[in-house]
């Protein structure tokens, strides 16, 4: 399977995007001006990770990520897809109610201005205008994704060694691998992961600096 196609299947088991419903920032962050450049710190089970996010790279994606972090969406998230020499993916809430809240939102695309090189942070998607809450960190130069519409919004500026140490032995997601089934995470939350994939690493808290 081609690299771009593989990433397009990231949400194969999840709910399809609803084209009639556009993503909105959570109410708590709607009126807050998003800085042109901001840092997101992840306190993870393996250690700290810092990412620099830039609006000039992808303004819609950056604004959306800012709002999600501000409202605590990523707190308690598992890194549910960790594929060596490919990507680390996160962004399905451990709280099924939060997943239902965001299930039918989708974000208009940003033009691809930066390449998917190692350490860049990019939204997963199913196709045009389908970005929502899931993102991945590139573990190598995945430049083939650039032509597939995967627009990086930022990059890891410290803690890439931490990212590379996240638990990866479960491998690729179901149904193509033995890893977690994204649709089950959406419905059951962290209870499903704790029962079946207890060794996954996770985000204790994500904060804006």
Q: What ranges do the domains of the chain cover?
A: 3-7+41-208
Confidence at residue 30, expressed as pLDDT on a 0 to 100 scale: 56
pTM above 0.75, yes or no: yes
- CA 141 to chain centroid, in Å, comes to 17
**20: pLDDT strictly greater than 60:** no
Task: Write the CA distances from 54 to 37, 120, 143, 192, integer angstroms.
Answer: 5, 11, 19, 34
- The overall average pLDDT reported for the chain is 88
> Residue 24's pLDDT is what?
45
What pLDDT shows up at residue 8? 42
The hierarchical CATH code for the domain 3-7+41-208 is 2.40.100.10
At a CB cut-off of 8 Å and minimum separation 6, what does 59 contact? 110
Q: Which pLDDT score is estimated for 35?
A: 97
Provide CB contacts within 8 A for 78, sequence distance 6+.
90, 92, 94, 180, 185, 190, 193, 197, 200, 201, 202, 203
In the predicted model, what is the mean pLDDT of residues 46-60? 98
Q: Residue 188 pLDDT > 90, yes or no?
A: yes
């Amino acid at each position: 399977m081609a690299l771009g196609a593989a990433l397009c299947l990231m949400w194969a088991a999840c709910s399809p995007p609803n084209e009639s419903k556009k993503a909105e920032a959570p109410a708590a962050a709607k009126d807050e001006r998003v800085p042109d450049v901001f840092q997101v710190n992840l306190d993870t089970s393996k250690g700290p990770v810092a990412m620099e996010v830039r609006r000039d790279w992808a303004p819609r994606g950056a604004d959306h990520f800012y709002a999600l972090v501000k409202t605590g969406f990523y707190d308690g998230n598992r890194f549910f897809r960790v594929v060596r020499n490919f990507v680390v993916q996160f962004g399905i809430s451990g709280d099924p109610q939060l997943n239902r809240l965001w299930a039918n939102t989708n974000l208009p695309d940003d033009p691809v201005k930066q390449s998917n090189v190692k350490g860049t942070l990019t939204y997963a998607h199913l196709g045009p205008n389908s970005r929502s809450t899931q993102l991945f960190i590139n573990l190598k130069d995945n430049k083939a994704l650039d032509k597939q519409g995967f627009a990086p919004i930022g990059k890891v500026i410290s803690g890439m060694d931490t990212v590379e140490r996240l638990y990866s032995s479960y491998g690729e997601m179901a149904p193509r691998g033995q890893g977690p089934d994204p649709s089950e995470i959406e419905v059951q939350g962290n209870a499903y992961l704790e029962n079946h994939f207890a060794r996954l690493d996770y985000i204790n808290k994500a904060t804006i600096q």
